[in-house]
């Protein structure tokens, strides 16, 4: 019985630390209540900020490693030995949280979101490490795995966007990939030569009858695919415009990038909604509704791009082309879905 007391003590202190980390996670997730007020009179040293944050990430990795090494083999450290290890780790966590909240809103909401995700991820990885140290035998595979995950997240810091332009480009690229995936799935499905190939994707329940596309359905799918291709082209042109014209030199320029991102992230779910409605049994009314919503969002985004600083007179041609493509594809879909009884 005497041998179990130190174990209970170190587990208790580790569990308390896990609870504290969870409070930090919740606080960061509820970011709105702790946002800093921008002070235009106080200059923000971008280079110094990211240099300091990079040092914090490395420090967090080092402190997590120390904790893991202390529990690499039995017997585990006593409560008294754990306290300084956890104290050092807590100090770096607090420095990380402080640095996160000190990023001014004027640097951009998209950048802040990217940093929020990164900070949440590494704190969650540290939490998992401490949980595994508390719950498993010293040097367990779970402990080694989560230690490696902390290292991996810390090592990803150099690839983290350092301004709103980089953050915006990352969002546009990610959204473009999602739309490409949805388009590819439709392309593969509509070109299935055998009905059985398609029915494999439709097996939802044993009591549901097998259904497949009619010739009319496939014609409608092709037209809807054209609308989704318009989204793909729009995202490609948006990415190019942000890359060539995007700026972080003024608050207005940064805010425009945030608005672009807001518009872009609305497109992927709308594409998914339309794509999902195209699998049998197709409801013309539902397809028409999703097509109208997506087309409206495309038109709004094109109008925004036209009058933003991100485009020039040279961009008028592709904006006009995509406007016409959007209208053309929607008109075809409305016609095809209005013939049903």
| CATH code of the domain covering residue 168 | 1.20.1410.10
In angstroms, the CA 209 to CA 226 distance is 30
Sign of CA dihedral 155, 158, 163, 167: negative
Q: pLDDT per residue over 260-309, tens digit each?
A: 999 999 999 999 999 999 999 999 999 999 999 999 999 999 999 999 99
Question: Is the predicted pLDDT of residue 3 greater than 50, yes or no?
Answer: no
Note whether 104 and 126 are same-domain residues. yes
175 preceded by cis ω (within 30°)?
A: no
Note whether 258 and 155 are same-domain residues. no
In angstroms, the CA 94 to CA 89 distance is 9
Token pair of 239 as six digits: 């990415």
Token pair of 165 as six digits: 């332009």
Number of domains observed in the structure of the chain: 2
The string over 57-96, giving b where at least 16 C-beta atoms fall within 10 Å of a residue's C-beta and e elsewhere, is: bebbbebbeebbebbeeeebbebeebeebbeebeebbebb
Measuring CA to CA, which residue among 135, 118, 141, 115 is closest to residue 11?
135
Note whether 103 and 184 are same-domain residues. no
pLDDT tier, 341 (very low <50, low <70, confident <90, very high otherwise): very low
pLDDT tier, 35 (very low <50, low <70, confident <90, very high otherwise): low
Comparing 39 with 6, which gets the higher pLDDT? 39
Question: Mean pLDDT in the chain?
Answer: 89
Note whether 239 and 141 are same-domain residues. no
**Average confidence (pLDDT) over 129-142:** 89
Question: Is the predicted pLDDT of residue 337 greater than 70, yes or no?
Answer: yes
Reported pTM: 0.88
Note whether 155 and 172 are same-domain residues. no
120 preceded by cis ω (within 30°)?
A: no
**Average confidence (pLDDT) over 204-229:** 78
- For residues 87, 90, 92 and 93, what is the CA-based torsion angle, rounded to 10 degrees? 180
314: DSSP letter? G
Note whether 322 and 226 are same-domain residues. yes
Backbone region of residue 210 per phi and psi (left: phi > 0; alpha: psi in -120 to 50; beta: other values): beta
Note whether 143 and 181 are same-domain residues. no
**Average confidence (pLDDT) over 79-107:** 95
pLDDT tier, 39 (very low <50, low <70, confident <90, very high otherwise): low
Question: Is the predicted pLDDT of residue 182 greater than 70, yes or no?
Answer: yes
CATH of the domain at 123: 1.20.1420.10
Note whether 125 and 11 are same-domain residues. yes
Q: Which domain holds residue 40?
A: 4-159
Comparing 215 with 51, which gets the higher pLDDT? 51
Token pair of 246 as six digits: 């995007």
What pLDDT sits at residue 190?
Answer: 72
Q: Which of 159, 180, 214 is the last residue of a domain?
A: 159
Cα-based distances in Å from 191 to 113, 186, 316: 39, 8, 35
What pLDDT sits at residue 203?
Answer: 52
Note whether 217 and 97 are same-domain residues. no
């Amino acid at each position: 019985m005497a041998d179990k007391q130190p174990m209970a003590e170190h587990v208790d202190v580790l569990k308390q630390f896990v609870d504290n980390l969870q409070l930090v996670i919740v606080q960061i997730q509820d970011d709105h209540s702790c946002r800093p007020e921008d002070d235009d009179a106080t200059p923000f040293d971008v280079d110094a900020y990211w240099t300091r944050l990079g040092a914090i990430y490395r420090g967090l990795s080092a402190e997590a490693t120390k904790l893991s090494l202390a529990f690499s083999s039995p017997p585990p450290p006593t409560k008294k030995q754990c306290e300084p290890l956890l104290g050092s780790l807590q100090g770096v966590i607090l420095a990380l949280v402080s640095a996160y909240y000190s990023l001014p809103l004027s640097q951009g909401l998209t950048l802040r979101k990217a940093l929020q995700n990164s900070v949440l991820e590494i704190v969650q990885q540290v939490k998992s490490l401490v949980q595994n140290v508390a719950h498993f035998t010293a040097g367990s595979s779970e402990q080694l795995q989560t230690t490696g995950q902390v290292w991996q997240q810390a090592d990803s810091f150099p690839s983290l966007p350092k301004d709103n332009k980089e953050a915006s480009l990352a969002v546009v690229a990610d959204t473009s990939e999602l739309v490409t995936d949805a388009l590819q799935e439709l392309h593969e499905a509509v070109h299935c030569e055998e009905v059985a190939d398609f029915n494999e994707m439709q097996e939802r329940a044993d009591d549901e009858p097998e259904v497949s596309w009619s010739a009319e359905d496939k014609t409608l799918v092709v037209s809807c695919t054209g609308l989704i291709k318009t989204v793909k082209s729009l995202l490609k042109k948006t990415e190019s415009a942000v890359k060539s014209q995007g700026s972080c030199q003024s608050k207005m320029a940064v805010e425009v990038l945030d608005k672009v991102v807001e518009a872009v992230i609305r497109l992927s779910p709308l594409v998914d909604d339309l794509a999902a409605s195209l699998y049998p049994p197709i409801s013309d009314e539902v397809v028409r509704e999703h097509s109208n919503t997506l087309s409206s969002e495309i038109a709004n985004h094109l109008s925004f791009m036209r009058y933003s600083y991100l485009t020039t007179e040279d961009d008028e041609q592709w904006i006009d082309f995509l406007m016409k493509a959007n209208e053309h594809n929607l008109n075809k879909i409305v016609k095809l879905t209005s013939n049903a009884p």
